[in-house]
């Protein structure tokens, strides 16, 4: 009896509280608490600096007085790039630490592990750094939203360019036989609209030693455009092999694998000259942006709050853009710091100019569009650096 009365009273208090209050768990008059889960250890630990970056960004925000008078506290957790650990950390943040939301996580397999959990719990799972196209699914997963352009969007951008500029292209595709490879390829072929343009598509498994025999098959097919949808090691092998067997196709290389030090240098810079890839961020090292306000702001932030940042790691400046967008959403949410309102604000960004995005690229979301960035610029490797060319290409 006593128990049920207590429960009733508690229930009534909660119900009346919910009507009047503008806070969900994790927010109060003087604090907003959120979490971010990144690989601080393990095989992907290089990307762990994004966690440090987001925490550092909000240190800066707090030093400037916080958001609408509230301090922001960021709880950075380590998942070791292990899906099981990711779930454990998400539960810890949501159930024990009681964060308002989780944002800025890295990785497709890891975020997949908490996709259902976050949506069942109705806790915002925002601005993920992963390119899988499955995150843009507001109908089934209304609490999850990525940040960076999806593999699918990128695939469409290449297809659009090829269709407009090389309509007679005979395309050969090398792709990894998993979701990553298929995301790119399916969207690419869909955007081409004409499957016959693809004369050969061969896959490889990540357990393979090399992709040499795939490359001979592609060359043999007579393709004159090579779409390289491979993860860094295999992308480098493919580029080197294309050079060795003298296959002089126009090469398109997915952005996942366009790092100079990790892919192009191992493959050989001479073999890499002329490769086309995409970019949506301003590279701080690019002399063209030395005077750019965004880049200067990032440099100042780096100097004071994030000294560990590396100019060569895109995620060390992309996280700045992500953190800025998180701040914007929190500021817009005003005093109504509920999980529902956060999703409402996050899915109603129109032409929002987040820093570090290339001119002409903005953040756009809607209730039925959870893909914030869907425009990229093409760039070509000149043997030493990537150089942007042409207009920004947008897809939807």
Partner 1 sequence: MTFFLEQLIIGLSSGGIYAIMALALVMIYKSTGHVNLAQGEMAVFSTFIAWTLVQMDVPIWPAILLTVAVSFVGAIVLERVVVRPFAKADDLVVVAVFVGLFLSIHSLAGAIWNYEVKPFPSAFSDGSISLMDDLSIRAHTLGSLLTTGAVLTAVWFFFRYTRLGLALRAAADNHESSRLVGINVSVMLALGWGLAAGIGAVAGVMIAPVTFLDPGMGLAPLIFALAGALLGGITSPFGAALGGLIVGVLEAMVSAYVPYGIEFRELIALMLILSVLLVRPAGLFGEIVTRRV
Shortest separation between residue 313's beta carbon and partner 1, angstroms? 11
Binding test (CB under 8 A) with partner 1, winner from 190, 244, 248, 340: 244
Shortest separation between residue 292's beta carbon and partner 1, angstroms? 28
Binding test (CB under 8 A) with partner 1, winner from 60, 166, 199, 202: 202
Shortest separation between residue 252's beta carbon and partner 1, angstroms? 20
Positions in 263-282 near partner 1 (CB under 8 A): 263, 265-266
Shortest separation between residue 265's beta carbon and partner 1, angstroms? 7
Binding test (CB under 8 A) with partner 1, winner from 189, 236, 239, 376: 236
For residues 290-328, one letter each, b for 16 or more C-beta atoms within 10 angstroms of the residue's C-beta and e for the rest, the string is eebebbeebbebbeebbeebeeebbbbbbbbbbbbbbbb
Chain centroid offset of residue 117 CA? 20
The two three-digit tokens of residue 64, written as one number: 């400037």
Binding test (CB under 8 A) with partner 1, winner from 25, 91, 92, 233: 233
Q: Looking at beta carbons only, is 43 or 390 nearer to partner 1?
A: 43
How far apart, in whole angstroms, are the C-alpha atoms of residue 95 and residue 342?
Answer: 19
Binding test (CB under 8 A) with partner 1, winner from 1, 193, 261, 368: 261
DSSP state of 148: S
How far apart, in whole angstroms, are the C-alpha atoms of residue 184 and residue 272?
Answer: 21
| 262 binds partner 1, rule: CB under 8 A | yes
The two three-digit tokens of residue 351, written as one number: 């032409």
- Which of these segments, 55-63, 125-133, 242-250, 340-348, binds partner 1 (CB under 8 A)? 242-250
How far apart, in whole angstroms, are the C-alpha atoms of residue 171 and residue 195?
Answer: 10
Shortest separation between residue 206's beta carbon and partner 1, angstroms? 8
Q: Alpha helix locations (H) across the chain?
A: 2-20, 49-63, 83-91, 108-121, 151-165, 179-192, 212-220, 232-244, 265-267, 269-272, 293-305, 314-333, 339-346
Cα separation values, 22 from 102, 142, 354, Å = 19, 20, 27
Rounded (10°) angle between helices 314-333 and 339-346: 120
Q: Looking at beta carbons only, is 214 or 341 nearer to partner 1?
A: 214
DSSP state of 143: T
Shortest separation between residue 201's beta carbon and partner 1, angstroms? 10
| 248 binds partner 1, rule: CB under 8 A | no
Kindly state the number of chain residues that form the binding site for partner 1, as judged by CB under 8 A: 32
Q: Looking at beta carbons only, is 193 or 246 nearer to partner 1?
A: 246
Cα separation values, 95 from 82, 142, 270, Å = 20, 20, 53
How far apart, in whole angstroms, are the C-alpha atoms of residue 288 and residue 131?
Answer: 27
Question: Would you tell me how many other CB atoms lie within 10 Å of the CB of residue 271?
Answer: 18
Positions in 140-179 near partner 1 (CB under 8 A): 177
Q: Looking at beta carbons only, is 215 or 342 nearer to partner 1?
A: 215
Positions in 38-97 near partner 1 (CB under 8 A): 42-46
Q: Is 78 in contact with 84 (CB distance < 8 Å)?
A: no
Sign of CA dihedral 351, 357, 361, 363: negative
Cα separation values, 223 from 19, 173, 216, 292, 351, Å = 64, 9, 11, 41, 39
Positions in 290-319 near partner 1 (CB under 8 A): none
Strands of 125-128's sheet in order across? 71-78, 31-38, 101-103, 125-128, 144-146
Shortest separation between residue 12's beta carbon and partner 1, angstroms? 54
Q: Looking at beta carbons only, is 89 or 214 nearer to partner 1?
A: 214
Question: Would you tell me how many other CB atoms lie within 10 Å of the CB of residue 113?
Answer: 19
| 285 binds partner 1, rule: CB under 8 A | no
Q: Looking at beta carbons only, is 312 or 360 nearer to partner 1?
A: 312
- Which of these segments, 138-146, 206-214, 297-305, 323-331, binds partner 1 (CB under 8 A)? 206-214
| 363 binds partner 1, rule: CB under 8 A | no
- Which of these segments, 212-220, 274-282, 315-323, 386-394, binds partner 1 (CB under 8 A)? 212-220
**Where does this chain bind partner 1 (CB under 8 A)?**
42-46, 177, 202-205, 207-210, 212-214, 216-217, 220, 232-233, 236-237, 244-246, 261-263, 265-266
């Amino acid at each position: 009896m006593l128990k049920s009365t207590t429960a009733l009273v508690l229930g009534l208090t909660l119900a009346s509280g919910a009507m009047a209050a503008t806070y969900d768990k994790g927010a109060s008059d003087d604090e907003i608490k959120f979490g971010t889960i990144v690989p601080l250890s393990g095989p992907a630990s290089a990307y762990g600096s994004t966690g440090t970056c987001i925490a550092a960004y909000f240190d800066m925000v707090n030093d400037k007085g916080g958001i609408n008078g509230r301090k922001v506290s960021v709880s950075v957790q380590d998942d070791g790039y292990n899906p099981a650990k990711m779930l454990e950390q998400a539960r810890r943040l949501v159930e024990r630490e009681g964060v308002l939301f989780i944002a800025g996580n890295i990785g497709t397999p890891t975020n997949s592990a908490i996709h259902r959990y976050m949506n069942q719990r109705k806790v915002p799972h925002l601005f993920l750094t992963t390119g899988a196209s499955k995150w843009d699914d507001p109908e089934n997963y209304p609490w999850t939203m990525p940040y960076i352009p999806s593999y699918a969007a990128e695939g469409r951008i290449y297809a659009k360019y090829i269709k407009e500029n090389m309509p007679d292209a005979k395309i050969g595709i090398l792709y990894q036989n998993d979701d990553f490879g298929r995301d790119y390829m399916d969207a690419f072929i869909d955007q081409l609209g004409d499957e016959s343009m693809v004369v050969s598509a061969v896959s490889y498994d990540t357990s393979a030693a090399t992709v040499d025999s795939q490359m001979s098959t592609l060359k043999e097919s007579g393709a004159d455009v090579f779409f390289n949808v491979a993860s860094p090691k295999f992308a480098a092998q493919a580029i080197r092999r294309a050079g060795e067997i003298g296959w002089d196709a126009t090469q398109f290389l997915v952005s996942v694998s366009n790092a100079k030090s990790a892919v192009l240098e191992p493959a050989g810079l001479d073999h890499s000259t002329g490769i086309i890839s995409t970019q949506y961020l301003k590279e701080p090292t690019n002399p063209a942006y030395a005077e750019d306000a965004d880049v200067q702001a990032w440099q100042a932030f780096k100097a004071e709050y994030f000294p560990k940042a590396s100019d060569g790691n895109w995620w060390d400046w992309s996280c700045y853009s992500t953190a800025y967008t998180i701040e914007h959403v929190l500021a817009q949410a005003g005093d109504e710091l509920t999980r529902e309102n956060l999703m409402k604000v996050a899915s109603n960004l129109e032409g929002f100019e987040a820093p570090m995005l290339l001119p002409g690229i903005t953040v756009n979301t809607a209730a039925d569009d959870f893909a914030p960035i869907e425009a990229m610029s093409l760039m070509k490797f000149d043997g030493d650096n990537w150089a942007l060319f042409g207009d920004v290409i947008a897809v939807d």
